Chains A and B, each alone.
Chain A
Amino acid sequence: MEAIILQVLNGLDKGSAYALIALGLTLIFGTLGVVNFAHGALFMIGAFCAVTLSRILTLSRTVVDETQTDFLGNPLQVQVPYVHDWFGQATGDAIIDWAVPLSILFAIPVMMLIGVVMERGLIKHFYKRPHADQILVTFGLAIVLQEIIKYYYGANPIPTPAPEAFTGSFDFGAMLGLDPNVVIYPYWRIIYFAFAAVIIGAVFAFLQFTTFGMVVRAGMADRETVQLLGINIDRRFTIMFGLAAAVAGLAGVMYTPINSPNYHMGMDFLVLSFVVVVVGGMGSLPGAVLAGFLLGILESFASMREVLEVLPGINQIIIYLVAIIILLTRPRGLMGRKGVMED
């Protein structure tokens, strides 16, 4: 029982990461019809927004401390962050501590800008090109973005901890009257889940209840007619691309305390996020979210010791196995629309 509750929690948490990435991807891929292999890279850049901000916040002046020595026996150079000078030691430390949440504010404009520049500068010219060309150009772009990050930040993972206040874990078991310490869950992962729910809700509300969203949805369904009505659908699509980039970026920012970011984290998620989007069904936002949570939960259950004892290796293939079964029983994934990316 406890084990099942735990894995459901894990699944929701994993699923929220998958759903967030898939949501951004499906906005571009499922609706604009562009196979965006650079989406993983956008997620990665989001994570590095957090790294960059914490680097900026810890920009330091160097003080030579004669009393201590470094590993070569020279006087030790002590780094004093400027924020200490400006806000005092305590406030300065608090600001540095809160770097990851603060990065959200930093990442939104940066990611929007990157998305818009990408769409205007590159993707725009590829709407009418074959999917193969889109794959080649976005894959090339993903490699370039990745290598730029690697050049400046190295290949090693960079630790980016959550604020002190969110370390440790919450004891669900005690709340439900079970033994303490059995069903515990880290605070930050709970926050990640809540954050994902808010973002997903906001994107849906935006598309469902605003005029802008209505026009975009109309444009997805029939681009030409919307244009004939005198609406500049291109500009709206550009904004949608920026929005998708921002969603991917935010998913990345909030993910950094869970796993230390490195330059290839985007590639690690890329294939998985495509699987999620396709299992959800092309052109369906709710489908992508649903598939994200479904695969997350199944993956968590497959990693249980009891399951592995019966089916060794099932944790390695569960996602792909489920994807095959779903695609064979439901031709267009869970909630796919007819005719989208079927040829």
Chain B
Amino acid sequence: MLGLDKKDFRLLLIVIAITLLAPFILNPFPEGSGMAQFNAGYPDLMQRFVIYGIFAIGFNILFGLTGYLSFGHAAFLGVGSYAAIWMMKLVTLNVIPAIILGVIIAGLFALAVGYISLRRSGIYFSILTLAFAQMSYALAYSVLTPITGGETGLQIKATDSPLLSNLEPGQIGRANLFGMDMRAGFDLSFGDWLFTINAGYYIAAVFMILAFYLSIRIFRSPFGTMLRAVKSNQTRMYYTGLNARPYTLAAFVISGMYAGLAGGLLVAMDTQAGPERMFWTASGEVVLMTILGGAGTLIGPVLGSGAIKYMENILSKINKDILHEWFAFMPDGLEDFIIAIVYPFIGKGWHLTLGLIFMAVVIFLPGGLVEGGQRIGRLLRGKKANPNDDKATQSTPAE
């Protein structure tokens, strides 16, 4: 189906189902309950899940298949964002041209950076990409301020009137898709449960499903096989008369375009672009997302990006008051004791939890979260004693 084998097609269907039902799946707790703190089904975070998912899927096409570890991928995301917001400021508030321009500009930038960086391999390649990204960041933050807005970045202002829009003077333009506002939507409520259906999220989700589908096709194509050959033994490939460079460069540009797509979508959902998107920590983040989820697997990067964004947005918002609310049922002494133990790990201590999870995953689950899923899957199957139950939600890792 769609050029996929049965197993991949099933994986795609599962991803589609989860993405489309995300507003419900991510809001499992009723409003007003203590656990509602853990609900992630609000538009902004759902959008970030899928957008960073796209970013990580793209990164994985380069890193997971060829083994080339780019440490400057955030630069492409940033460049894509700047291109998209300028498109919206100057030409049209429709998101599609903005996203397309973001992808194209990021692709061109990736072509230039990749052409130079891919002359080297291993750590030398990583440092070259890092150097390009850091230069982009430093310049965007300072001397390029007239183009990038510097520290404050770019937003759409009342003074912007794009060519193809008919805004009244003083009206602040809003991102839209043929007239539909990105923030359009409605709330559904079932008893105590509240679900927000948001147009922007579904637009981003469609892009992610397409991006995911494309990545499956790349993984399973002869091109993908060639890229894996680069990873396993480039020298042997060379001796058989194949030049690896065009393939790796193609992979680099494709993954740069994925980053540009993510950057364009970020702007489409939230009309703002700033330089810290290109800082090395942002590049590091996508590396961590991919490894955390499981490098070289299809679904891993999406899981990894979801996990990190979830912690960043949910864990950091838990404060002492909320803890007191949760543990109020305990006797006073015990309550204070438990809170004293939990407190360093939440709120301002969310980085600590993040660090511990990185360590735990890599120590106990060498294949990332995907391996965790597989282990659980195996465990369940073992218990059911049903070896034919082929219900794995994960594909096999590339290696």
The interface residues of chain A lying within 8 Å CB-to-CB of B131 are 275, 320-321, 323-324
B291 touches A133 (CB 8 A): yes
Question: Number of contacting residues on B, CB 8 A?
Answer: 45
Picked from B119, B123, B138, B359, the residue with its CB within 8 Å of the CB of A341 is B123
In the bound assembly, the distance between CA atoms of A151 and B349 in angstroms comes to 8
Is the CB–CB distance between B122 and A136 below 8 Å? no
A342: contacting residue among B123, B142, B288, CB under 8 A: B123
Docked complex: B342-391 residues within 8 A CB-CB of A? 344, 349, 351-352, 354-359, 361-363, 366
Does A39 reach chain B (CB closer than 8 Å)? no
| Chain B residues with CB below 8 A from A331, complex form | 120, 124
With an 8 A cutoff between CB atoms, is A282 at the interface?
Answer: yes
By a CB distance below 8 angstroms, the chain A residues around B357 are 140
The answer to whether the Cβ of B268 comes within 8 Å of any Cβ in the partner chain is: no
In the complex, the answer to whether A342 meets B291 with C-beta atoms within 8 Å is: no
Annotate A150-162 by CB proximity to B: 1 below 8 A, 0 otherwise. Answer: 0100000000000
- Chain B: interface secondary structure? helix
Query: Would you call A313 and B142 a contact (CB within 8 A)?
Result: yes
Cα(A275)–Cα(B63), bound, Å: 20
Question: A317 and B135: CB pair below 8 A?
Answer: yes
Question: Separation in Å of the A303 CB from the closest CB of chain B?
Answer: 13
Distance in Å: Cβ of A130 to nearest Cβ of chain B: 8
- The smallest beta-carbon distance between A117 and chain B, in angstroms, is 14
Stretch at the interface among A67-75, A89-97, A99-107, A141-149: A141-149
Residue in B124, B234, B284, B358 whose beta carbon sits within 8 Å of that of A332 in the complex: B124
Cβ–Cβ < 8 Å partners of A279 in chain B: 127
Is the Cβ of A327 less than 8 Å from the Cβ of B359?
Answer: no
| Chain B positions 117 through 150: 1 when the CB is less than 8 Å from some CB of chain A, otherwise 0 | 0011111100110111011001101110000000
B54 within 8 A of A: no
User: Which A residues are in CB contact (< 8 Å) with B87?
Assistant: none
Q: A136 to B355, Cβ gap below 8 A?
A: no
B292 within 8 A of A: yes
* Residues of B with C-beta under 8 A to A122: 363
Cα-based distance from A332 to B119 in the complex (angstroms):
11
* Interface flag for B259 (CB, 8 Å): no
CB of B116 within 8 Å of the partner chain = yes
Measured in the bound complex, the distance between the Cα atoms of B357 and A132 in whole Å is 16
**Are B354 and A343 in contact, CB atoms less than 8 angstroms apart?**
no
B12 within 8 A of A: no
B287 within 8 A of A: yes
Contact assessment for A144 and B124 in the assembled complex, using a CB-CB cutoff below 8 Å: no
Name the A residues within 8 Å of B127 (CB-CB).
Answer: 274-275, 278-279, 323, 327
CB distance from A131 to the nearest CB of B (A): 7
Q: Which residues of B contact A35 (CB under 8 A)?
A: 123
Cβ contact of A146, chosen from B63, B130, B281, B351, cutoff 8 A? B351
User: CA of A122 to CA of B360 in the docked complex: distance in angstroms?
Assistant: 11
Q: B124–A312 contact, CB under 8 A?
A: no
In the complex, are the beta carbons of A271 and B128 less than 8 A apart? Answer: no
Q: Does A79 contact B (CB under 8 A)?
A: no
- Encode B197-241 as 1/0 by CB contact (under 8 A) with A: 000000000000000000000000000000000000010000000
Does A140 lie within 8 Å of B116, measured CB to CB? no
B69 at the interface (CB under 8 A from A): yes
Is A137 an interface position by the 8 A CB rule?
yes
Q: Is the CB of A317 within 8 A of B361?
A: no
B42 at the interface (CB under 8 A from A): no
Q: Are B358 and A327 in contact (CB under 8 A)?
A: no
Q: Tell me whether A114 is interfacial, beta carbon within 8 Å.
A: no
CA A135 – CA B281 in complex, angstroms? 13
CB of B371 to closest CB in A, whole Å: 12
> Would B123 and A140 count as touching, CB distance under 8 A?
no
Interface contact B130-A271, CB-CB below 8 Å:
yes
Q: How far is the CA of A35 from the CA of B130 in the complex (A)?
A: 15
Q: Could you say which of A136, A144, A278, A316 contacts B139, with CB atoms under 8 Å apart?
A: A316
Closest A-B pairs by Cβ, 7 of them = A140-B358, A143-B355, A313-B143, A316-B138, A320-B131, A147-B352, A140-B359
Given known contacts A137-B359, A324-B128, what 10 new A-B pairs fall within 8 Å (CB)? A35-B123, A129-B366, A143-B352, A143-B354, A147-B351, A320-B134, A323-B127, A341-B123, A342-B124, A343-B234
Mark B residues whose CB is within 8 Å of A: 63, 67, 69, 116, 119-124, 127-128, 130-132, 134-135, 138-139, 141-143, 234, 280-281, 284, 287-288, 291-292, 295, 344, 349, 351-352, 354-359, 361-363, 366
21 contacts between A and B (CB under 8 A): A125-B363, A132-B69, A132-B287, A133-B291, A136-B292, A136-B358, A136-B362, A140-B354, A140-B362, A146-B355, A147-B351, A151-B349, A316-B135, A320-B130, A321-B135, A323-B131, A324-B128, A327-B124, A341-B122, A342-B123, A342-B124
